[in-house]
Chain A
């Protein structure tokens, strides 16, 4: 039986490498820290990386595949995070697996997770083919991750079309790898350009931040240690907004002070 209150959130992007898995890891930790029982389901089992970003790569024994085949119990397959016991990882499968899980399998696993978690975050594979459709089957709502680049926005648009046709909603947007300086100089799509084109509400805005790479090197998401880096704060805010807190999203290209920034804004004013 599925607990009605469990939130099943698909994290997807279409294009690879825009930050889906990083968002899933950071959001999972942040939600767990805020007291929500959270499961992260790695639905990308051909190229799974969520374990690595969470620092759990050496602790995976079973996957959802074994749970479905009843060769192990769900508790055995769930990998609990040591520092943040509210968070558990479940890999959907392993790369040696010959067959894809089917959408029905994903629904079964989701229902099992619903009995013991408040949030189930599903890390979707890149693309819009079978693997993505499987991941989508277990979701009720979605977070689309994109960067302010034409290819990422185009792919996000395709994914949004699919989510709409499957009735997944609400769909919210996280804009990743924002460079305020480039935006202020009009050499990067503006925040409003992306939200207008995709017609989605903005759940979060994450600045390009070198600390993200440092944290993935260590397998310790930025949200884990109360890290005060810009990206860490942004991920924590995404979690708080998901929980219903009203925190305004600040457009960094409009926040910049000083003469150069003011001049930049003057240059952007429409004159006709």
Chain B
């Protein structure tokens, strides 16, 4: 946050548009580059949450699965706050391997 952003906030003014432009671009390019439309991303997000929640209790409101881009490399970032581990681990779920690919 810059000094200008703070002043804008205090005065209730719209922030400078360059920063908005940058953020919107980064988001749209992450989708363009990965060829994932928001609908597919939502579906993937649901399925990932489903698998993870078999093992641990997740805070669904805080959890987030997003695409982030840096230096033309797009990463899937899952940020899933865990409330607590589940006591009974499900038996031999084949999708369990999915979990290892996720990090924040």
CB within 8 Å of B: which residues of A?
A: 149-150, 153-154, 157-158, 160-161, 183, 185-190, 193, 197-199, 266-272
> 1/0 contact trace for B19-61 toward A, CB 8 Å?
1011011101100110000000000000000000000000000
- B82: CB under 8 A from chain A? no
Q: Is the beta-carbon distance between B4 and A186 smaller than 8 angstroms?
A: yes
30 A-B pairs whose Cβ atoms sit less than 8 Å apart in the complex: A150-B21, A150-B25, A153-B25, A154-B28, A154-B29, A157-B33, A158-B32, A161-B33, A183-B18, A185-B16, A186-B17, A187-B16, A187-B18, A188-B18, A189-B18, A189-B21, A189-B22, A189-B25, A190-B18, A193-B18, A193-B21, A193-B22, A197-B22, A267-B2, A267-B3, A267-B4, A268-B4, A269-B2, A271-B3, A271-B6
- List 10 additional A-B contacts (Cβ < 8 Å) besides A189-B18, A197-B29: A150-B25, A153-B25, A183-B18, A186-B17, A189-B21, A189-B25, A197-B22, A199-B71, A269-B3, A271-B6
Q: Is the beta-carbon distance between A186 and B19 smaller than 8 angstroms?
A: yes
Query: In the assembled complex, which residues on chain B have CB atoms less than 8 Å from the CB atom of A186?
Result: 4, 16-19
Query: In the assembled complex, which residues on chain B have CB atoms less than 8 Å from the CB atom of A271?
Result: 1-3, 6
CB within 8 Å of A: which residues of B?
A: 1-4, 6-7, 16-19, 21-22, 24-26, 28-29, 32-33, 71-72
Output the nearest chain A residue to B71 by Cβ-Cβ distance.
A199
Q: Is the beta-carbon distance between A199 and B28 smaller than 8 angstroms?
A: no
CA distance A35 to B17 in the complex (A): 44
CA distance A188 to B18 in the complex (A): 5
CA distance A242 to B19 in the complex (A): 32
A48 to chain B, nearest CB (A): 29
Output the nearest chain B residue to A155 by Cβ-Cβ distance.
B32
Given that A193-B18, A193-B22, A199-B71 are known contacts, is A268 also in contact with B28, CB under 8 Å in the complex?
A: no
CA distance A185 to B17 in the complex (A): 9
Q: Is the beta-carbon distance between A270 and B1 smaller than 8 angstroms?
A: yes
A191 to chain B, nearest CB (A): 11
A144 to chain B, nearest CB (A): 13
B102 to chain A, nearest CB (A): 25
CA distance A59 to B19 in the complex (A): 48
Which 10 A-B residue pairs are closest in the complex by CB-CB distance? A186-B16, A267-B4, A186-B18, A199-B72, A193-B22, A267-B3, A199-B71, A150-B21, A187-B17, A189-B21
Output the nearest chain A residue to B15 by Cβ-Cβ distance.
A186
CA distance A150 to B26 in the complex (A): 10
Query: In the assembled complex, which residues on chain B have CB atoms less than 8 Å from the CB atom of A268?
Result: 2-4
CA distance A224 to B25 in the complex (A): 37
Q: Is the beta-carbon distance between A150 and B24 smaller than 8 angstroms?
A: yes
CA distance A268 to B26 in the complex (A): 20
